[in-house]
Amino acid sequence: MLLVRIARGIALLTTGLLAGAFSYGAVNVAPTFRAVPLDVRLTFHIALMKMNAVVMQAGMALALISAIALIVVVRAAVPRLLAAGASALLLATFLVTRFGNVPINRQMREWVADAPPADYADILQVWDTFHIIRTATAIAAFLLIIAIADRARTLAADARDQAVPAAVR
Protein backbone atom coordinates (compact mmCIF):
# COMPACT_ATOMS: atom_id res chain seq x y z
CA MET A 1 0.00 0.00 0.00
CA LEU A 2 2.82 2.42 0.85
CA LEU A 3 4.52 1.67 -2.47
CA VAL A 4 1.29 2.50 -4.32
CA ARG A 5 0.92 5.78 -2.41
CA ILE A 6 4.52 6.75 -3.19
CA ALA A 7 4.15 5.85 -6.89
CA ARG A 8 0.87 7.77 -7.07
CA GLY A 9 2.43 10.82 -5.41
CA ILE A 10 5.43 10.82 -7.74
CA ALA A 11 3.14 10.39 -10.76
CA LEU A 12 0.98 13.29 -9.62
CA LEU A 13 4.03 15.49 -9.10
CA THR A 14 5.84 14.68 -12.33
CA THR A 15 2.81 14.76 -14.63
CA GLY A 16 1.59 17.95 -12.97
CA LEU A 17 4.94 19.65 -13.43
CA LEU A 18 5.13 18.52 -17.05
CA ALA A 19 1.59 19.65 -17.87
CA GLY A 20 2.24 22.93 -16.06
CA ALA A 21 5.48 23.60 -17.90
CA PHE A 22 3.96 22.93 -21.30
CA SER A 23 0.87 24.97 -20.39
CA TYR A 24 3.01 27.90 -19.29
CA GLY A 25 4.82 27.70 -22.62
CA ALA A 26 1.55 27.64 -24.56
CA VAL A 27 -0.11 30.46 -22.62
CA ASN A 28 2.84 32.77 -21.96
CA VAL A 29 5.99 31.95 -23.89
CA ALA A 30 4.54 31.16 -27.35
CA PRO A 31 2.48 34.38 -27.52
CA THR A 32 5.55 36.33 -26.43
CA PHE A 33 7.56 34.69 -29.22
CA ARG A 34 4.97 35.93 -31.71
CA ALA A 35 5.01 39.47 -30.26
CA VAL A 36 8.72 40.17 -30.76
CA PRO A 37 10.82 40.56 -33.91
CA LEU A 38 12.00 37.29 -35.48
CA ASP A 39 15.68 37.76 -34.54
CA VAL A 40 14.72 38.24 -30.89
CA ARG A 41 12.42 35.21 -31.01
CA LEU A 42 15.11 33.01 -32.52
CA THR A 43 17.78 34.12 -30.07
CA PHE A 44 15.52 33.55 -27.08
CA HIS A 45 14.01 30.34 -28.46
CA ILE A 46 17.43 28.79 -29.04
CA ALA A 47 18.65 29.79 -25.57
CA LEU A 48 15.46 28.41 -24.00
CA MET A 49 15.74 25.14 -25.89
CA LYS A 50 19.28 24.63 -24.56
CA MET A 51 17.84 24.61 -21.04
CA ASN A 52 14.73 22.68 -22.02
CA ALA A 53 16.72 19.98 -23.78
CA VAL A 54 17.74 18.58 -20.40
CA VAL A 55 14.93 19.73 -18.12
CA MET A 56 11.94 18.82 -20.27
CA GLN A 57 13.41 15.52 -21.48
CA ALA A 58 14.04 14.52 -17.88
CA GLY A 59 10.54 15.66 -16.90
CA MET A 60 8.94 13.63 -19.68
CA ALA A 61 11.01 10.57 -18.75
CA LEU A 62 10.16 10.82 -15.05
CA ALA A 63 6.46 11.31 -15.78
CA LEU A 64 6.39 8.31 -18.11
CA ILE A 65 8.35 6.09 -15.71
CA SER A 66 6.08 7.04 -12.81
CA ALA A 67 2.93 6.30 -14.84
CA ILE A 68 4.35 2.93 -15.88
CA ALA A 69 5.24 2.25 -12.24
CA LEU A 70 1.57 2.76 -11.38
CA ILE A 71 0.60 0.09 -13.90
CA VAL A 72 2.97 -2.29 -12.11
CA VAL A 73 2.09 -1.55 -8.48
CA VAL A 74 -1.65 -0.86 -8.64
CA ARG A 75 -3.83 -3.97 -8.42
CA ALA A 76 -7.29 -2.66 -9.31
CA ALA A 77 -8.28 -2.81 -12.99
CA VAL A 78 -9.63 0.73 -13.45
CA PRO A 79 -6.59 2.55 -12.02
CA ARG A 80 -4.30 0.28 -14.05
CA LEU A 81 -6.20 1.18 -17.21
CA LEU A 82 -6.04 4.87 -16.33
CA ALA A 83 -2.29 4.55 -15.69
CA ALA A 84 -1.88 2.77 -19.04
CA GLY A 85 -3.79 5.59 -20.73
CA ALA A 86 -1.61 8.18 -19.01
CA SER A 87 1.50 6.27 -20.08
CA ALA A 88 0.34 6.21 -23.70
CA LEU A 89 -0.38 9.95 -23.59
CA LEU A 90 3.04 10.66 -22.07
CA LEU A 91 4.70 8.55 -24.75
CA ALA A 92 2.79 10.58 -27.35
CA THR A 93 4.01 13.77 -25.65
CA PHE A 94 7.59 12.57 -25.97
CA LEU A 95 7.19 11.44 -29.59
CA VAL A 96 5.59 14.73 -30.68
CA THR A 97 8.43 16.61 -28.99
CA ARG A 98 11.19 14.40 -30.38
CA PHE A 99 9.92 14.11 -33.94
CA GLY A 100 7.92 17.35 -34.21
CA ASN A 101 9.34 20.20 -32.16
CA VAL A 102 13.00 19.17 -31.90
CA PRO A 103 13.69 19.02 -35.66
CA ILE A 104 12.17 22.48 -36.05
CA ASN A 105 14.31 23.72 -33.15
CA ARG A 106 17.36 22.50 -35.09
CA GLN A 107 16.16 24.40 -38.18
CA MET A 108 15.84 27.57 -36.10
CA ARG A 109 19.49 27.32 -35.06
CA GLU A 110 20.43 27.34 -38.75
CA TRP A 111 18.27 30.41 -39.35
CA VAL A 112 20.38 32.42 -36.92
CA ALA A 113 23.53 31.65 -38.93
CA ASP A 114 21.78 32.09 -42.29
CA ALA A 115 18.59 33.83 -43.30
CA PRO A 116 15.28 32.17 -42.42
CA PRO A 117 13.59 30.48 -45.38
CA ALA A 118 10.75 32.24 -47.17
CA ASP A 119 8.21 29.92 -45.50
CA TYR A 120 9.57 30.42 -41.98
CA ALA A 121 6.16 31.63 -40.70
CA ASP A 122 4.55 28.37 -41.82
CA ILE A 123 7.30 26.36 -40.13
CA LEU A 124 6.83 28.31 -36.89
CA GLN A 125 3.08 27.64 -37.11
CA VAL A 126 3.82 23.91 -37.38
CA TRP A 127 6.03 24.19 -34.27
CA ASP A 128 3.14 25.90 -32.43
CA THR A 129 0.75 23.15 -33.53
CA PHE A 130 3.09 20.45 -32.24
CA HIS A 131 3.40 22.36 -28.99
CA ILE A 132 -0.39 22.53 -28.57
CA ILE A 133 -0.63 18.79 -29.24
CA ARG A 134 2.03 17.90 -26.67
CA THR A 135 0.50 20.30 -24.16
CA ALA A 136 -2.89 18.64 -24.60
CA THR A 137 -1.47 15.13 -24.22
CA ALA A 138 0.49 16.13 -21.10
CA ILE A 139 -2.61 17.73 -19.53
CA ALA A 140 -4.73 14.68 -20.39
CA ALA A 141 -2.14 12.37 -18.79
CA PHE A 142 -2.16 14.54 -15.66
CA LEU A 143 -5.96 14.39 -15.51
CA LEU A 144 -5.84 10.59 -15.69
CA ILE A 145 -3.34 10.48 -12.82
CA ILE A 146 -5.61 12.83 -10.84
CA ALA A 147 -8.49 10.43 -11.51
CA ILE A 148 -6.41 7.57 -10.09
CA ALA A 149 -5.62 9.58 -6.96
CA ASP A 150 -9.24 10.70 -6.56
CA ARG A 151 -10.49 7.14 -6.93
CA ALA A 152 -8.05 5.96 -4.26
CA ARG A 153 -9.15 8.75 -1.92
CA THR A 154 -12.82 7.95 -2.49
CA LEU A 155 -12.29 4.22 -1.89
CA ALA A 156 -10.34 4.93 1.29
CA ALA A 157 -13.10 7.23 2.58
CA ASP A 158 -15.75 4.60 1.78
CA ALA A 159 -13.76 1.96 3.64
CA ARG A 160 -13.43 4.24 6.69
CA ASP A 161 -17.17 4.94 6.62
CA GLN A 162 -17.96 1.24 6.51
CA ALA A 163 -15.64 0.58 9.44
CA VAL A 164 -17.44 3.10 11.68
CA PRO A 165 -20.62 1.72 13.25
CA ALA A 166 -23.86 3.34 12.03
CA ALA A 167 -24.67 4.63 15.53
CA VAL A 168 -21.43 6.63 15.58
CA ARG A 169 -21.93 8.16 12.12
Question: Does residue 168 belong to any structural domain of this protein?
Answer: no
pLDDT tens digits, one per residue of 66-99 = 999 999 999 999 999 999 999 999 999 999 999 9
In a domain, residue 167? The reply is no
Tens of pLDDT, residue by residue over 23-38, are: 999 999 999 999 999 9
**Does residue 169 form part of some domain?**
no
pTM over the 0.85 mark: yes
What pLDDT score was predicted for residue 157?
52
Pick from 97, 106, 99: nearest CA to 42:
106
- Is residue 120 one of the residues assigned to a domain? yes
**What does the DSSP 8-state code read for residue 115?**
P
**Is residue 10, in this structure, part of any structural domain at all?**
yes
| Number of structural domains in the chain | 1
Contact call for residues 63 and 18 (beta carbons, < 8 A): yes
For 72, the domain range is 2-162
DSSP 8-state assignment for residue 27 = I
Burial label for 167, CB within 10 Å (0-12, 13-18, 19+), is: exposed
- Whether the Cβ atoms of residue 41 and residue 33 lie closer than 8 Å to each other: yes
